[in-house]
Amino acid sequence: MALIIPVIFIFVFAFAVIKKVAVYDCFTEGIKEAFNFTVSLLPCLAAIFMMCALFEASGLSDGLTKLLSPVFGFLGIPPELTKLVLIKPFSGSGSLAYLNEIITAYGADSYIARCACVCFGSSETVFYISAVYFAGIKVKKLAMPIACVLVATFVSTIVACLVCKIM
C-alpha cells in the first residue's frame, strides 16, 4: 500500500515527459495556484479557529461534553468518546490530538481506542470543509447539507461502536 504514492508520482512525471510538458514551469505554476488558494483560505480559517479556541476556553465545550455523555451512553457510544465526537466536525488537528490521548491512555488495542479510531477515520471536519469549499461562493444556503452530514456522521458513530464490539 505504501507504494501507491511513489507509483502515482513517477507515473505522472513520466507521462508528462512523454507528452513533452515543460515539467519545471508547469510544477511551479501549480504551486503558485496552491499559494493563492491558501491565502484565500486564511480569513475563513482564522475566523473558525478563533471560534473553536473561544468555545474550548470558555468551558462550554466541557459543559456540553458532560451534558451529552449520558445521552451518548444510552445510544451505545462510550462516554470517553463524547469529546472526540463533538470536536471532530470542527477541528481536524484538535481531534487528532485528542485521539492520540485516547490511544495512549487506553492502549492501541483496547475497545475504546479502536472505536475512537474508526470514528475518527470515517468522519470529516465538516465545518472546516464547508468553509474551505464555499469560500468563494456568494449564495450558500448550507444549513440543509450540513445537517444531513452531521446526522449521517452521528449514525455512523453509533454503528462504529456496535461494529467494534463484534469485530
Partner 1 sequence: MNVIFTAVFIASMVAIAISAPDKLLSSLLGGAESAAKMSLTLFCIYAVWMGLSKLAEKSGLSKQMARGLKPITRRVFKTDDETANENLAMNVSCNLLGLGGAATPFAVKAIGELEKQGNSFAQKLLFVINATSIQILPTTVIALRAGAGSAAAADIFLPSLICTAVSTGLAVALYLAGNKLWR
Residue ranges in 50-109 that form contacts with partner 1 under rule CB under 8 A: 50-60, 93, 96, 99-100, 103-104, 107-109
Q: Which of positions 133-162 make contact with partner 1 (CB under 8 A)?
A: 133-137, 139-149, 151-153, 155-157, 159-160
CB of 82 or CB of 123, closer to partner 1: 123
Q: Is 4 in the site for partner 1 (CB under 8 A)?
A: yes
CB of 26 or CB of 71, closer to partner 1: 26
Q: Name the residue with cell 478563533.
A: 50
Q: Is 140 helix (H, G, I), strand (E, B) or coil?
A: coil
Stretch of 65-73, 74-82, 115-123 contacting partner 1, by CB under 8 A: 115-123
What distance in Å separates the CA atoms of residue 139 and residue 142, rounded to the nearest whole number?
9
What distance in Å separates the CA atoms of residue 153 and residue 130, rounded to the nearest whole number?
15
How much is the CA Rg of the chain, to the nearest whole Å? 20
**Among residues 72, 77, 85, 120, which is the contact residue for partner 1, using CB under 8 A?**
120
Percentage helix, strand, coil for the chain under 3-state DSSP, each rounded to 5: 80, 0, 20
